[in-house]
Every structure is written in structure tokens, then in C-alpha cells.
Amino acid sequence: MELSIDTVGEQSSVAVSDQGRVLTEINWESGRRHTPSLTPMIDFVCRQTGNAEIVRQELEAVFVDVGPGAYGGIRSGMAAAEGLAVALDLQCVGVGRFELEAYQHVASGLAAAIHRAARSTWAWQIFWGPLDRWRELGPPGTGAEFELLRALGDARRFVGRAGVICGEPERLDEDAAASVRDAGWTFAPPSLNVRRAGVLAELGWRKLQAGQGVPPAALEPLYLREPAIGPQPPQ
């Protein structure tokens, strides 16, 4: 069995799966209270799957969303994943938020996950290919809206057609949204812009089978800018 944890946003999700097939999943509005709500939810999905202690003993891996997202949320999920993995001697798989969101649209062959970032900028990453060769088109990008539109245009020209935009496409301004649609891109419906630990379970299992499991100490968070929280200068 595997445990999947996603706490990078204000909606969190955990799931128990068996070789990537979801057995139990729960999604909840955590707000900024990721840490106090996470442990009870992990206990809940373990109990719903069966005897909680037996489920923990049968875990073989932990999959965790490593961001980008809320700093406290990323750290909360990763700390829980690392703690369980160390205690139970499990492998971990870290999956980026953009890849997790885009993976829900793998059937389209091309998906761009976009999010509004700080100070009127955007963050994005684009993925493409059939399921057996699904991969990133490039590293995560950040910039102004016109830079996002340029990245989408470059992706469309490279692949030869447009695809699906997921994440927060509704936050594009009216002119930008019209331009993107005119270029052939479609916007994912809100129901498919929700991150689910069940999707993380499937993607994490594929990565584990591809040899991408790591020891807990090797997990790395994905930040697009340095967190505001850090060591304070001496007084």
C-alpha cells in the first residue's frame, strides 16, 4: 500500500492506495491550518481502509506534493511524509504541483498548469506526450502575463497544436483569455482543477515503478522564490 499527501494549497487531500489504485481518499478545506488537520486526516483514511495499525505496517511508500505553493503547507506535508517514511523505513516520491495538475489532462497530449503568483506575476509549467512518455516541456517559469502567453505560444508551435490549460485559467484577464482561446487552447473545468491525492497516488506509483523513489532525506521542496520565513538577523 501507499500513502499520498497533498497540502500545498488551502485545499488538502490524503489517500491510501494499492499499487496506485485508490482505496480511500479524503479532501478538505485546510486553509492555513495544514499541520493540525493533517494527522487526524491520515488516521481517518487509514481507519477507513481497514485496521489503521495494519495499514501502516503494510505501507510500502509515501507520495507527497512538493510544491510550489504555500510555504507552511509544503513543509507540513513533507514533514509528515518524511516522518512516516523514517519511522516505517519507506521510500518516498516527491511530485511537483504543476505536474500533478497537468497529469489529470494527460489524454489531451499537451497541458499547461498556470497559477497567479505574487505581485501580478504568473507561474507555469507545461507537459506533453502520450501517457507512456508524458514529460515536461521545460522547467517551471515565472513572469508577467505576456511572458506566460509567449510560453503557451512556443509550446503550441513546438507540439503542433494547442492543448488544455489547468490550474487557475479563470484568473487570466479578459483579453488574454480570449487570445488563448483563439489560439485553440481549452480551459479545464473547475472540477478538474482540484488537486486530489488519488491522482498523486497514480502518478506516484508510476514514478516509483520507474525507479524514482528516494529515501526521505532526499526529498526536496519546490519553491519558485525564496520563502519569506527564514533565519532572522541578530538583534
3-class SS letters over 163-203? CEEEECHHHCCHHHHHHHHHCCCEECCHHHCCCCHHHHHHH
State the amino acid at position 87 in one-letter form: A
Cα angle 219-120-177, degrees, rounded to a multiple of 5: 100
- Residues whose CB falls within 8 Å of the CB of residue 219, separated by 6 or more in sequence, listed in order: 64, 66, 78, 81, 82, 92, 94
Domain with CATH 3.30.420.40 in the chain: 2-97+194-218
Among 152, 85, 141, 113, which residue's Cα sits nearest to residue 8?
Answer: 113
Report the alpha-carbon distance of residue 130 to residue 109 in Å, rounded.
6
Cell numbers of 32, please?
A: 492555513
Write down the pTM of the prediction: 0.90
What is the fold of 2-97+194-218? Nucleotidyltransferase; domain 5 (3.30.420)
Q: What size, in residues, is the chain? A: 235
Report the alpha-carbon distance of residue 42 to residue 113 in Å, rounded.
27
The answer to whether 180 and 152 are in contact (CB under 8 A) is yes
Percent of the residues in the chain that have a pLDDT greater than 90, as a whole number: 75
What three-state secondary structure class fits 231? coil
The answer to whether 3 and 84 are in contact (CB under 8 A) is yes
**Structure confidence at residue 22 (pLDDT):** 96
Q: What is the pLDDT of residues 83-95, one digit of tens each?
A: 999 999 999 999 9
Q: What is the pLDDT of residues 20-34, one digit of tens each?
A: 999 999 999 987 778
**Structure confidence at residue 226 (pLDDT):** 59
Q: What is the pLDDT of residues 110-163, one digit of tens each?
A: 999 999 887 789 999 999 999 889 999 999 999 999 999 999 999 999 999 999
What is the fold of 106-187? Nucleotidyltransferase; domain 5 (3.30.420)
